[in-house]
């Protein structure tokens, strides 16, 4: 582990970083709790084949902080956390998730966990054997989380198109979706329902073919999606995909999708802005699952699709409107607003009102 962890924590305002090892399952993991100043910290479990522990540590810090930004912009009385689990062929997967459940339970509600890349219903069931501070994948839980994310992204795309042209005008839109997984497929379905032309791509070719067949949408080979001329490009696969090369290849007027940390660096948001490509910031548009999960745990409510859409639609409208008025990149405006709210929360420990409502 880097010797600079404490310095990273000071600079980034982190509260706690735990390094976990379980002899029985072979688990090696990091848990970062970024902020609990106004409520418990929420964040999923990412299981990934990291190159080394330094890469995993950087990821847990980056992702947990982004969760705090997400909570702040969504006006939730909660903060951010993340658990990353270093995947390996030796790992006893379900035993590792049971161990995580025990450790989460010891935190007694300071940290609530749920799904992320590599962690689905089976793994969450193993966590739920040991703790109630996890989003239950079954009927006792808050409902469809990927669906909540897709609905929020749909509303954010509508707001982005309105910012571009004053109306959605779905019937004349061409939208490219990168990644047709849990969120991407649901998003494609919603866009097809309103009459948009959808082009999809997925590195899982069988999956792409099935979704293409079922929804009657065109699919292209992975990586060709960047060059497809369209109104809006929706990244719904992995983060970091908007970088120097991608920006040169993009033939779109806007970027808005579910993937976390879409911009390889914040400067790529500036590049999009100077090329006239409108960007709906990821941590403002992809908070549907967080809103549904957090409100279920905190208030026992199941937030409806309509509520999620109106919250996220309003947040994106506000951010893009401010960015246009100030001629600033929307990623910078969203970051500044999230940090303003976090500082306010920390100083007063009160939740600011939901953006724009
Ligand atoms: P998923 O794992 O179900 O789907 C991702 C899909 O992307 C898979 O089908 C995979 O084959 C494909 N893919 C991976 N790399 C690709 C590439 N380079 N090009 C094309 N396709 C590629 O994940 P899910 O749940 O749909 O999430 C999608 C993204 O949204 C992730 O980045 C996730 O972190 C983010 N997100 C998801 C939320 C949720 O509620 N599921 C909430 C907030 C963010």
- Mean pLDDT score across all residues of the chain: 94
For the domain that residue 254 is a member of, what is the CATH number? 3.40.50.720
Per residue in 78-89, pLDDT tens? 999 999 999 999
In a domain, 124, yes or no: yes
pTM: 0.92
In a domain, 135, yes or no: no
302 and 257 housed in the same domain:
yes
Q: Which two tokens stand for residue 17?
A: 């970083």
For the domain that residue 8 is a member of, what is the CATH number? 3.40.50.10860
Q: Please tell me the residue having the least CA distance from ligand 1 atom 20.
A: 202
Q: How far does the centroid of ligand 1 lie from the alpha carbon of residue 43, in Å?
A: 16
In a domain, 44, yes or no: yes
Quick check: helix, strand or coil at residue 151?
Answer: helix
212 and 273 housed in the same domain:
yes
Specify the range with the lowest mean pLDDT, choosing from 4-13, 46-55, 168-177, 343-352. 343-352
In a domain, 73, yes or no: no
Which position has the token pair 């939730």?
A: 76
303, 145 contact by CB (below 8 A): no
111 and 242 housed in the same domain:
no
For residue 353, what is the DSSP state?
P
124 and 149 housed in the same domain:
no
Question: What is the separation of C-alpha 193 from the centre of its chain, rounded to a whole number of angstroms?
Answer: 24
Specify the range with the lowest mean pLDDT, choosing from 169-183, 235-249, 297-311. 297-311
Query: Looking at per-residue confidence, does 185 or 141 come out higher?
Result: 185
Helices within the chain (DSSP H only) = 5-12, 53-74, 93-106, 121-128, 145-165, 182-193, 205-215, 244-249, 266-274, 282-285, 288-299, 305-326, 330-348
Q: How far does the centroid of ligand 1 lie from the alpha carbon of residue 183, in Å?
A: 7
91 and 213 housed in the same domain:
no
249 and 298 housed in the same domain:
yes
185 and 233 housed in the same domain:
yes
In a domain, 139, yes or no: no
In a domain, 255, yes or no: yes
Q: Please tell me the residue having the least CA distance from ligand 1 atom 9.
A: 181
Average pLDDT in the 293-313 region?
92
In a domain, 72, yes or no: no
Residue 140: per-residue pLDDT: 77
246 and 216 housed in the same domain:
yes
156 and 124 housed in the same domain:
no
Residue 144: per-residue pLDDT: 87
Domain span at 265:
145-342
165 and 110 housed in the same domain:
no
In a domain, 157, yes or no: yes
149 and 186 housed in the same domain:
yes
Q: How far does the centroid of ligand 1 lie from the alpha carbon of residue 33, in Å?
A: 23
Query: Looking at per-residue confidence, does 1 or 145 come out higher?
Result: 145
Out of 182, 263, 287, give the residue to mutate to test ligand 1, the one with the largest number of ligand atoms within 8 Å of its CB: 182
Question: Number of structural domains, the chain?
Answer: 2
199 and 333 housed in the same domain:
yes
Average pLDDT in the 19-34 region?
98
Ligand 1, closest atom to CA 184?
26
Q: Please tell me the residue having the least CA distance from ligand 1 atom 15.
A: 237
Per residue in 261-278, pLDDT tens? 999 999 999 999 999 999
Ligand 1, closest atom to CA 258?
30
Domain termination site, one of 93, 128, 163? 128
Which position has the token pair 């990168």?
A: 178
Q: How many whole angstroms separate alpha carbon 100 and alpha carbon 118?
A: 14
Q: How far does the centroid of ligand 1 lie from the alpha carbon of residue 176, in Å?
A: 14
Q: How many whole angstroms separate alpha carbon 166 and alpha carbon 98?
A: 50
82 catalytic residue (yes or no)? yes
Query: How many Cα neighbours within 13 Å face the side chain of 34?
Result: 26
Per residue in 83-125, pLDDT tens? 999 999 999 999 999 999 999 999 999 999 998 889 988 999 9
Out of 179, 189, 220, 249, give the residue to mutate to test ligand 1, the one with the largest number of ligand atoms within 8 Å of its CB: 179
pLDDT at 357 over 90: no
Out of 236, 285, 287, 289, give the residue to mutate to test ligand 1, the one with the largest number of ligand atoms within 8 Å of its CB: 236
Ligand 1 lining (C-beta closer than 6 Å) = 117, 145-146, 149, 178-184, 201-204, 207, 222, 236-239, 258-260, 286, 289
Per residue in 130-153, pLDDT tens? 999 998 767 778 888 899 999 999
Q: How many whole angstroms separate alpha carbon 41 and alpha carbon 18?
A: 14
Q: How far does the centroid of ligand 1 lie from the alpha carbon of residue 81, in Å?
A: 19
pLDDT at 171 over 50: yes
Q: How many whole angstroms separate alpha carbon 267 and alpha carbon 175?
A: 24
φ and ψ of 107, to 5 deg? -80, -5
């Amino acid at each position: 582990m880097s010797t600079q962890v404490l310095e990273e924590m000071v600079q980034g305002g982190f509260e706690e970083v735990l390094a976990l090892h379980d002899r029985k399952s072979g688990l090696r993991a990091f848990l970062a709790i970024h902020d609990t100043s106004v409520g418990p910290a929420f964040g999923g479990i990412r299981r990934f084949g990291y190159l080394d522990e330094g890469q995993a540590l950087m990821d847990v810090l980056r992702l947990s902080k982004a969760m705090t930004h997400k909570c702040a912009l969504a006006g939730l009385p909660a903060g951010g956390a993340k658990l990353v689990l270093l995947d390996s062929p030796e790992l006893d997967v379900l035993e590792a998730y049971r161990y995580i459940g025990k450790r989460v339970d010891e935190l007694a509600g300071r940290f609530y966990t749920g799904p992320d890349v590599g962690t689905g219903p089976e793994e969450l069931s193993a966590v739920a054997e040991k703790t109630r501070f996890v989003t239950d994948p079954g009927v006792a839980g808050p409902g469809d989380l990927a669906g909540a994310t897709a609905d929020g992204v749909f509303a954010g795309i509508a707001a982005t198109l309105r910012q571009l042209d004053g109306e959605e005008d779905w019937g004349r839109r061409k939208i490219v979706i990168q990644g047709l997984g849990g969120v991407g497929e649901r998003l494609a379905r919603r866009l097809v329902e309103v009459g948009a032309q959808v082009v999809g791509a997925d590195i899982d070719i069988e999956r792409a073919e099935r979704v293409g067949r079922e929804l009657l949408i065109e699919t292209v080979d992975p990586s060709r999606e960047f060059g497809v001329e369209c109104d809006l490009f929706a990244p719904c696969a992995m983060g970091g995909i908007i970088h120097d090369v991608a920006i040169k290849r993009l033939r779109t007027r806007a970027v808005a999708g579910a993937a976390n940390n879409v911009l390889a660096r914040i400067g790529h948001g500036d590049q999009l802005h100077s090329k006239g490509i409108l960007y709906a910031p990821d941590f403002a548009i992809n908070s549907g699952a967080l809103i549904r999960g957090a409100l279920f745990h905190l208030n026992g409510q199941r937030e409806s699709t309509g509520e999620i859409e109106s919250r996220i639609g309003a947040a994106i409208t506000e951010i893009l409107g401010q960015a246009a008025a100030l001629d600033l990149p929307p990623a910078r405006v969203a970051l500044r607003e999230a940090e303003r709210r976090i500082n306010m929360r920390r100083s007063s420990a009160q939740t600011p009102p939901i953006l724009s409502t």
